[in-house]
C-alpha cells in the first residue's frame, strides 16, 4: 500500500506551528501531519479544532524517517517550527539537543531527499546588537536559546549554501496572537497585558532600562497570521532559499502595546515594575527587523501595526474564540 503524501509541521501543537497548520488547512491542504511533544498535554487545545491528517511524537517521527522507507518517501516537505523557545532556560545540553541536533537531523533528511526545509530561527540571535541584518557581523546572542538558533543558522550556511532543495530560515521577531496560552511566562506581552487587565485592571510594564524611559523599550511586534503568510509565500516560491528576518520592520514601544490592550477593553491603567534580576544583562531593549533581504526576494506580505494586530487578536478572544 502506497504511503500517502505528508506535509510535516514540527512543533505543530505549539504557538506558531498550530497557526501554520490552520493556515495550510484553510488553503485546502488535507495532508498536514503534526509532529510535537505533548508531555505538556495542555497544548492539545491548539490542534483540537484542526482536521489534521495525523499526529506523531517528535522522537517517533525521527525513528520512522530512519527505519521506514515507505513512510519517509511520503514526506513532501518539513516545516520545522519545533523548539524550546524559553529565553530563560539555561540548561545548555537540553537546549542544544532539542534545538540544534534535532534540527540537523531534519535538515540532512531534506537535503538527502531533495525536499523543501523551512525552519524557525529567531531574532534572539542578534542579542545586544543594534543592527538587525542577516549578517554574522550583527549576531551576538545573550542567552543559550539565542546561541542554539545562531549555531544552527551557521550550520545551514555551511552545509546547505548550494543545496538543490529549498532551505529557508526565518528569524522571527516578537510574535503574538492566538494559540499561545500554553506558553506561560514566554507568551507575548499582549497576552499578559490582556490577562492583567482582566484580573486587576492594571498592565505591568518594565521600568526604564538601558537609557529607555518607563515602558519605552522598543520591540518589533509581529502578528502571527502575518508570519504564516510569509511562510506560505516561500512555499509558493520554491526557488527562493536563504535566512531572512520576519518582523514588521518597525519598532514599537511596550507602552503602545499596553495602550492598545487598554483601548480595546475601554478600561485599565499601566504600572511600571523593576526589570527582574534574572534578566539583567540579557534583556533586549530594542529590536527592529531589517527587511531588505526579505523584500529583495519579492515577498510582498504586509505586516500590521500593533494597534491593528492587538485588536484582531482580542476581537477573537472577545468572541469566545481564544485559540483561533
253: β partners? 218
Residue 265 Cα to chain centre, angstroms:
27
43 among known catalytic residues: no
Is 2 in a helix, a strand, or coil?
Answer: coil
* 187: CB partners within 8 A, 6+ apart: 180, 181
Q: Which one of the listed residues 58, 104, 183, 311 is annotated catalytic?
A: 183
145 among known catalytic residues: yes
Radius of gyration for the chain, computed over Cα atoms and rounded to the nearest angstrom: 19
C-alpha cell at 8: 510535516
**DSSP assignment string, 169-237:** EEEE-EEE-SS-GGGGGGS-HHHHHHHHHHHHSEEEEE---TTPPTT--EE-EEEHHHHHHHHHHHHH-
Q: Which one of the listed residues 102, 126, 145, 172 is annotated catalytic?
A: 145
The residues annotated with a catalytic role in the active site are 145, 183
Amino acid at each position: 500500500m502506497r504511503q500517502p503524501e505528508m506535509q510535516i509541521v514540527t512543533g505543530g501543537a505549539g504557538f506558531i506551528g498550530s497557526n501554520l497548520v490552520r493556515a495550510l488547512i484553510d488553503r485546502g491542504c488535507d495532508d498536514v501531519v503534526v509532529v510535537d511533544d505533548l508531555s505538556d498535554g495542555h497544548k492539545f487545545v491548539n490542534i483540537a479544532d484542526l482536521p489534521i491528517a495525523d499526529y506523531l511524537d517528535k522522537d517517533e517521527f525521527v525513528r520512522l524517517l530512519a527505519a521506514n522507507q515507505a513512510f519517509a518517501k511520503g514526506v513532501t516537505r518539513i516545516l520545522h517550527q519545533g523548539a524550546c523557545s524559553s529565553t530563560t532556560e539555561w540548561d545548555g545540553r537540553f537546549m542544544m539537543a532539542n534545538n540544534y541536533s534535532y534540527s540537523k537531523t531534519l535538515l540532512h533528511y531534506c537535503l538527502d531527499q531533495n525536499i523543501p526545509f523551512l525552519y524557525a530561527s529567531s531574532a534572539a540571535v542578534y542579542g545586544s546588537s543594534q543592527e538587525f541584518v542577516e549578517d554574522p557581523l550583527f549576531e551576538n546572542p545573550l542567552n543559550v536559546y539565542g546561541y542554539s538558533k545562531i549555531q544552527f543558522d551557521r550550520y545551514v550556511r555551511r552545509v546547505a549554501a548550494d543545496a538543490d532543495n529549498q532551505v529557508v530560515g526565518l528569524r522571527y521577531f516578537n510574535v503574538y496572537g492566538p494559540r499561545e496560552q500554553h506558553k506561560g511566562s514566554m507568551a507575548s506581552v499582549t497576552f499578559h497585558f490582556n490577562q492583567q487587565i482582566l484580573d486587576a485592571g492594571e498592565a505591568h510594564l518594565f521600568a526604564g532600562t538601558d537609557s529607555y524611559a518607563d515602558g519605552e523599550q522598543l520591540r518589533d511586534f509581529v502578528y502571527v497570521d502575518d508570519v504564516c503568510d510569509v511562510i506560505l509565500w516561500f512555499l509558493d516560491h520554491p526557488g527562493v532559499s536563504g535566512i531572512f528576518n520576519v518582523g514588521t520592520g518597525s519598532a514599537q514601544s511596550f507602552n503602545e502595546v499596553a495602550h492598545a490592550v487598554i483601548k480595546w477593553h475601554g478600561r485599565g491603567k499601566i504600572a511600571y515594575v523593576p526589570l527582574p534580576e534574572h534578566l539583567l544583562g540579557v534583556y533586549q531593549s530594542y529590536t527592529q527587523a531589517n527587511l531588505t533581504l526579505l523584500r529583495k526576494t519579492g515577498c510582498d506580505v504586509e505586516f500590521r501595526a500593533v494597534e491593528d494586530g492587538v485588536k484582531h487578536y482580542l476581537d477573537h478572544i472577545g468572541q469566545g474564540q481564544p485559540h483561533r
